[in-house]
Structure 1
Amino acid sequence: MNEQQLLDKGYRKYSGENIDVFFNASICEHSANCVKGNGDVFNTKRKPWILADNASADEVARVIDTCPSGALHYIRKGDA
Structure 2
Amino acid sequence: MDTKEYSNGEITILWKPKLCTHSGKSVKTLPNVYFPKEKPWLRMENATSEQLIKQVAICPSGALSIK
Structure 2 length normalisation: TM-score?
0.88
Please tell me the residue identity of whatever aligns with 1:20.
T
For 1:51 and 1:20, the matched residues in 2 are separated by: 12
Larger radius of gyration between Structure 1 and Structure 2? 1
Which residue is equivalent to 1:18? 10
User: What root-mean-square deviation, in Å, do the aligned CA atoms of Structure 1 and Structure 2 show?
Assistant: 1.1
Instruction: Spell out, residue by residue over 1:18-76, the C-alpha distance to the aligned partner (whole angstroms, 9 max, x if none).
Output: 2211111101111111011101111113211011221100000111111011000112x
Contact 1:23 1:71 in 2 (8 A): yes
Which residue is equivalent to 1:66? 58
Structure 1 length normalisation: TM-score?
0.75
Which residue is equivalent to 1:45? 37
Contact 1:12 1:22 in 2 (8 A): yes
Task: Could you tell me which runs of 5 or more consecutive residues in structure 1 were left unpaired when the two chains were aligned.
Answer: 1-8, 76-80
